[in-house]
Amino acid sequence: MKPTFHYILMSNHLLLQKLLLGRLKSTGLTAGQPKVLDYLMEHDGASQKEIAGGCHIEAGSLTSVLNRMEEKGLVRRTVLNGNRRTFHIFLTEKGREYTLVTAEAFTALEDEAFRGISESDREKFMEVFSRINQNLTSREESYWKN
């Protein structure tokens, strides 16, 4: 039987997460935290709503992820411009160090995943995969509007 797109996608996601957490075991990072660190690397000071959208995480789930990250000293929540309803999340020095470790682990896993695949095939794959992501992202956006 030929594997389906959804099966391969879910299988790869779970394998990548398992391998990533294995590489990051010494850091104590748990599921969801590497993704948030990766997002904050480019969007330090983002609001919780922006992080939830950028990481495709439900607001309630993100709150618990951020609580654990704050307890570990990786992030700090800050109110900006007196708006007490919106917290902005900033990396601490320790959080910045962990983003580097996380980025190295992501890069190593991507290199492993693309082992034996030519650069041109990798570029084509990423182009198509990005389009699939855009299609699903636009579907997600319309889902939340209804």
What is the radius of gyration, based on Cα positions, of the chain?
A: 17
* Six token digits for residue 6: 């959804």
Query: Hey, which residues does 103 pair with through a beta bridge?
Result: none
Give me the pLDDT at residue 47, please. 93
Q: What is the mean pLDDT of residues 12-25?
A: 96
**Burial (Cβ within 10 Å: 0-12, 13-18, ≥19) of residue 114:** middle
Residue 130 has pLDDT above 70, yes or no: yes
CATH entry, 5-108, from 1.10.10.10, 3.30.70.1230, 3.40.50.300, 2.60.40.10: 1.10.10.10
Domain boundaries, the chain: 5-108
Rounded distance between C-alpha atoms, residue 139 and residue 109, angstroms: 28
The dihedral over CA atoms of 26, 31, 37, 42, expressed in degrees to the nearest 10, equals: 140
pLDDT tens, residue by residue, 70-123 = 999 999 999 877 777 788 999 999 999 999 999 999 999 999 999 999 999 999
